[in-house]
Amino acid sequence: MDGLLPSSTTTTNGNTKVINSFFPNPVTTTNRDYHINTSSLSQTPADYFVGVLDHQSTATSPQQIQIDNSNSTFFIADSIRDELTRRMAKIQEMSSETINIEIPSKVDVFIDLIQIDQISGASSFTFNGMISTVYRATNSETGQLFCLRRFHSFQPNTANTKLLMGTIESWKRIQHPNIIPLRQVFTTKSFGDSSVIFVYDYYPLAETIMSSYFSNQLNTIGNNSGGGGGGNHSTTTTTTMTMNGYSTSSRPYSQQQQNTRKYLPEQTIWNYIIQISSALRTIHQSNLAFRSLDPTKILITSGGGGGGVNGTHSNINRGRDARVKLSFCGVTDILTLDSIHSSANNHRAFIQHLQQEDLILFGRFCLSIATNSLTAFTTSALQRDNNHHNHNNNIQEYIDTIPRNYSNDLRNLILYLITFKTNSTSKPRSIDDIMPMIGARFYMQLDYFYLRYDYLYDELAKEVDNGRLLRLLSKLGTINERPEHQLDPTWSETGDRYMLKLFRDYLFHQCDETGKPWLDLGHIISNLNKFDIGSPEKICLISRDAQNVIIVSFEELKRCFETAINDLMQ
Ligand SMILES: Nc1ncnc2c1ncn2[C@@H]1O[C@H](COP(=O)(O)OP(=O)(O)OP(=O)(O)O)[C@@H](O)[C@H]1O
């Protein structure tokens, strides 16, 4: 129904009048009545082509009940439609610009590979000396889209295939709303080298936290290791930085201009904390560690624009309904296979150590978003490894800035996560420890998401109705004027199907008194609804040459329609 403007309505004495919405100069509806009653039957046939709109308040379809003075009661809210439309456009993007001779036409079962985010024009990511490239691809067997992360020139470790397969299976089993699931891992020579491909679910328009919040700071890393606050822009376009063991290429200056946001609302930070901690909890409970927690590996998959619970834009709610997901799951484990340990005890201790590292990285991540400083993440990452004392001093500077903008609770949570305990006798921390620190904010965020859920459900209901009408119209279009049935009496101009053709004219091809096309979405929708439910109400159908006039009920039309569509489907 997109593209058709909705009708507005007025209600007088229990009658709802749908006012022409479709065209700028609507025909006045006051004197129009499409209900076939004795008085209307006395009209001339031509009168029936004049606009006909008048809903009784005892409307029989949900669509009629929904109609009111506002467009938003008729169609899904603009903010949701915008986001979904942009997603669809992204999905359908098959741009010729991205045709790249280095990309094979088929990799395993995947076709139509398009490199995602070719920001610097080159593969931007290295891990353990391996270059990584991310593609969107279509599974040729199912038509589903996936995200393929390829590591170039991979030498598989054949020493422990059982452990490798076990690790892959453990990651594939993880299902969580804040984790992008790993579907498959395979090696391929399709790119002309020996590559390993990690297959993940694809999220159109997903944006990394890095590009969403920190792209304007990338070039300052390395030059600026002081206290919190965003850095100045540099006009350099190809700086390379190292973060958490990975090297990344920075964005061009034009891209850095996009996100110059100051401090995030505290609720948004708690929103991220709740979602990411929940993901880590599931990973840790599965005896695994994420090992890659940094701003480039956390994706905002929806709601980053701050639509708000009811679709209204507000800065206060910016990011409050953002959905975040951890990407890159399993990569470190599978590529390094460094979890090979002879005894079960060693293995447990090793995983526990990695989980502690996850908590520290999580703390650094929270610190960086709370201070709006990528340096808070990278400095602490580097300095912790080099010198604990300096590390603590510099981190303290960042932590001290938190209460200027946020609660002590947030500060304490970050401090708890970030504090690196060297004492091997101290009890290992668990992600569950932070639950009491989040406290009642869980409820606040949950309430917020429930409200959003209810709102989205209501919006969905409108489109369900529109979807029903689209299916009805598709069937009607399929039946009408099929050339191969021209000689078949049941399909001919005198048969049952003829009425459906006249009904099509009745819906779409009416003219006003002056012979001008009369277009009204309300007329179309209300009559389609009556047709769909097979209302006993009658209408008058007139042939184009005005020689045939047929009085028929919607019920009868529906019977013709069902017979016709059943015939076609056999
Ligand atoms: N599952 C996914 N669905 C959709 N897009 C994804 C998915 N995983 C990653 N992406 C997108 O692919 C792009 C590249 O991902 P990557 O993890 O390499 O991030 P990056 O910011 O380019 O990091 P780096 O600079 O370290 O390479 C990012 O724009 C990210 O949003």
Q: Which residues pair with 300 in a beta bridge?
A: 207, 324
Q: What tokens were used for 422? A: 């060297």
Amino acid at 211: S
Per-residue model confidence (pLDDT) at position 345: 66
| Nearest one of 160, 434, 175 to 286, comparing CA atoms | 175
Centre of ligand 1 to C-alpha 298, Å, is 9
Q: 498 - beta bridge partners? A: none
Cβ–Cβ < 8 Å for 362, 294? no
Q: Which residues contribute to the annotated binding site for ATP? A: 149, 201-208, 296-297
Rounded-to-5 percentages of helix, strand, coil across the chain: 45, 15, 40
Nearest CA owner, ligand 1 atom 23 = 296
- The token duo for 403 is 């209460």
Q: What is the pLDDT of residue 484?
A: 75
Which residues does a 6 A CB cutoff place in the pocket of ligand 1? 116-117, 124-125, 134, 147, 180, 200-203, 206-208, 210-211, 246, 248, 296-297, 299, 327
- Position 54 scores a pLDDT of 31
Nearest to 276 by CA among 383, 369, 202, 406: 369
State the Cα angle at 121 between 115 and 126, rounded to 5°.
75
pLDDT, position 344: 62
> Which of 218, 213, 211, 263 lies closest to 240 in space, CA to CA?
218
Ligand 1 centroid from CA 134, angstroms: 6
**What's the CA gap between 9 and 15, in Å, rounded?**
10
The confidence score (pLDDT) of residue 548 equals: 85
Å from CA of 136 to ligand 1 middle: 10
Amino acid identity, residue 361?
Answer: L
From residue 27, alpha-carbon distances to 18, 426, 491 in Å are 11, 80, 34
Structural tokens at position 519: 């277009």
Q: Ligand 1: which atom is nearest the Cα of residue 207?
A: 31
**Looking at ligand 1, which atom is closest to the CA of residue 204?**
4
ipTM of the complex: 0.96
Q: What is the full DSSP assignment across 448-465?
A: HHHHHHHHHHHHHHHHHH
Contact of 110 with 137, CB cutoff 8 Å: yes
- Please check whether the domain covering 93-439 is classified as CATH 1.10.510.10: yes
Question: Do the Cβ atoms of 436 and 409 come closer than 8 Å?
Answer: no
Question: Using CA positions, which residue lies closest to atom 8 of ligand 1?
Answer: 327
Q: Which residues of the chain have pLDDT under 70?
A: 1-74, 95-101, 117-126, 218-261, 305-318, 338-345, 379-393, 420-426, 486-487, 489-494
Q: Rounded to an integer, what distance in angstroms lies between the CA atom of residue 117 and that of residue 115?
A: 7
Per-residue buried b or exposed e for 429-456, using 16+ beta carbons within 10 Å of the residue's own CB: bbbeebeebbeebeebbeebbeebeebb
Please name the residue whose Cα sits nearest to atom 22 of ligand 1.
124
Contact, 115 vs 134, CB < 8 A? yes
Q: From CA 11, how far away is CA 29, in angstroms rounded?
A: 12
> Which are the contacts of 504, defined by CB distance < 8 A and separation ≥ 6?
476, 480
CA distance 6 to 521: 6
Between the two ends of the chain, the Cα-to-Cα distance in Å is 29
Among the listed residues 169, 165, 167, 175, the one whose alpha carbon sits nearest the alpha carbon of residue 201: 175
The domain spans of the chain are 8-78+460-569, 93-439
- Among 115, 118, 134, the mutation site with the greatest number of ligand 1 atoms within 8 A of its Cβ is 134
- Determine whether domain 8-78+460-569 maps to CATH 1.10.287.3700: yes
Same fold, 8-78+460-569 and 93-439: no
Distance CA 426, CA 213 (A): 36
What does 70-90 look like in DSSP terms, one character per residue? -GGGTS--HHHHHHHHHHHHH
Q: Which of 179, 180, 327 to mutate to test the pocket of ligand 1 (most atoms within 8 A of CB)?
A: 327
H/E element, 369: helix 344-371
